[in-house]
Structure 1
């Protein structure tokens, strides 16, 4: 299945006002993990109040100890500072990587903006080396644009 084909489902999940925003985000995590072969862990981190840290709001995949991530630490923390997508083809080659699972081989993090401010991000881990392409970046940017509409 092409990522483009998933867009209507993403929009449908996010516009369902019969469930809470957190539940919709949770459904998106599970939908992406279940429908994209190389998405083995999918989570949303958001800025934790006035603190310079991210807090995990919801995810699909193996449990993680990384519920709070300081700005600048790991890939997620770097994206919180840089405001730019970060694709890591091989986590072993990355100095500032926080290991969530020994199975993770690559990661993509795309910032989530609301009114021009970086308020969070979608974080995806893969157990495959170098699976993320420009198509993933564009698709995840779309997901985050749709998420920002409900926040």
Structure 2
């Protein structure tokens, strides 16, 4: 499936009446990981209450020790501060990168905004070097806008 084919699938997940918020988020993670070959770890991080840190939400992929990420630390922590998309073509070239797995080559993080406030993000790791394009960014912005309606 390409991004345009995935958009209605995302909308269908968001609109499920019987599913919980976390069930919907997990379904989105599974959908993306299954249908986009270079998405090898897909998860959500959310602001942890009033603390300046992110807390891991639903995800698919290898287990991670990074359940809590302080603002400013790693790619996710930087996005929490900058409020901007962050595409990393080569994680080895990033000074402030938190390694989750030696197989990860690239990462993309897109913030989720509710009423103009950055309340979380989608984080995607890839085992493929430099796979992310502007199309990935636009698609993931769509996903984040849909997720924002749940929050």
**Would you say same fold, with TM above 0.5?**
yes
Tell me the equivalent position of 2:8.
8
Q: How does 1:115-134 map to 2 (within 5 A)?
A: 115-134=115-134
| Partner Cα distance (1:18, 1:113) in 2 | 24
Tell me the equivalent position of 2:28.
28
TM-score for both structures, normalised by structure 2: 0.99
Q: Is the 8 A contact 1:75 1:109 kept in 2?
A: yes
Gaps in structure 1 of 5+ consecutive residues: none
Secondary structure of 1:110 counterpart? strand
Tell me the equivalent position of 1:143.
143
Q: How does 1:67-106 map to 2 (within 5 A)?
A: 67-106=67-106
Tell me the equivalent position of 1:58.
58
Tell me the equivalent position of 2:46.
46
What per-residue deviation string (whole Å, max 9, x for no partner) do you get for residues 94-146 of structure 1? 00000001100000000000010000000000000000000000000000000
Secondary structure of 2:137 counterpart? helix
Deviation at 1:13, TM superposition (A): 0.7
Gaps in structure 2 of 5+ consecutive residues: none
| Partner Cα distance (1:64, 1:15) in 2 | 29
Q: Is the 8 A contact 1:15 1:150 kept in 2?
A: no
Root mean square deviation of aligned Cα? 0.5
| Partner Cα distance (1:36, 1:43) in 2 | 14
| Count of paired positions | 151
Deviation at 1:2, TM superposition (A): 1.8
| Partner Cα distance (1:95, 1:68) in 2 | 19
Structure 1 runs of 4+ with >2 Å offset: none
TM-score for both structures, normalised by structure 1: 0.99
